[in-house]
Amino acid sequence: FFFLFFPLFLFFFILSFCFFFFFFKQKTAYEMLRSLVGSEMCIRDRYQRRVRGQGESAMSVDDSAKLAKFESFIHDKLEPELQHVMHTRDVIFQQISEYLALQETCRRVLERDQTTMKTMVDIGSNVFMQAAVPDTSNIIVEIGLGFHLEFSLEEAIQFCTQKEAHLEKKAETLTQRAAEIKAHIKVTLGAIQEMMTSG
């Protein structure tokens, strides 16, 4: 009886494992960092529910005023700043992705020795049209602040490499700033918890 149903059991076990592996894959480090930001925003709400559950009478007027001041500091100062930092970093990540794509395109054109090519051009409002490039030896690249320069493909690749390094440093600075803000939020929440415990 055991040997009769063991292959069937083994089949369903392997099938369940494959389903779990492919549909519940591990998050990347970037996704995990973004999820941490969302969880950080929910901590203050949990403390507010605990305060309401204890009742305002359990705390003195001075403690209630301090608690409101701490909560206002988190809600009005730290959380908006954290959201701004994370949004700015997302924009930088998008720029890095675009420069990487441009760099790869230039390398591909050089490797294939293409003198002409067809591409899709954004004409506005996310509408694209097919365009022919009669000469691929030069390319116009945005260098920042709305300025553009014409480069050879080799120069464009070199510029993209330097630009990526510059943007990665900016992204790292923003990541460190986000960590500092989250640490500040945790310290403030710790002070709130201590006030509620002592009250």
pLDDT of residue 132: 86
Terminal alpha carbon distance of the chain: 65
Whole-angstrom distance, CA of residue 91 vs CA of residue 170: 11
pLDDT tier at 57 (50, 70, 90 boundaries)? very low
Per-residue pLDDT of 132-182, as tens digits, reads 888 888 998 988 888 999 999 999 999 999 999 999 999 999 999 999 999
pLDDT of residue 177: 96
Whole-angstrom distance, CA of residue 114 vs CA of residue 117: 7
Residue found under tokens 């009769």 = 4
Does pTM top 0.85 for this prediction?
A: no
Per-residue pLDDT of 65-122, as tens digits, reads 888 888 899 999 999 999 999 999 999 999 999 999 999 999 999 998 888 888 888 7
The SS3 assignment for 129 reads strand
pLDDT of residue 78: 93
In the predicted structure, residue 43 carries a pLDDT above the cut 90: no
pLDDT of residue 175: 95
Category of 145 on φ-ψ map: left (φ > 0), alpha (ψ -120 to 50) or beta: left
Whole-angstrom distance, CA of residue 146 vs CA of residue 132: 24
pLDDT of residue 107: 93
pLDDT of residue 130: 87
**Picking from 4-13, 30-39, 92-101, 105-114, which range would have the lowest pLDDT averaged per residue?**
30-39
pLDDT of residue 70: 86
Cα atoms in the Cβ-side hemisphere of radius 13 Å centred on 149? 10
DSSP string, 87-145: HHHHHHHHHHHHHHHHHHHHHHHHHHT-S-EEEEEEEETTEEEEEEES--SEEEEEEET
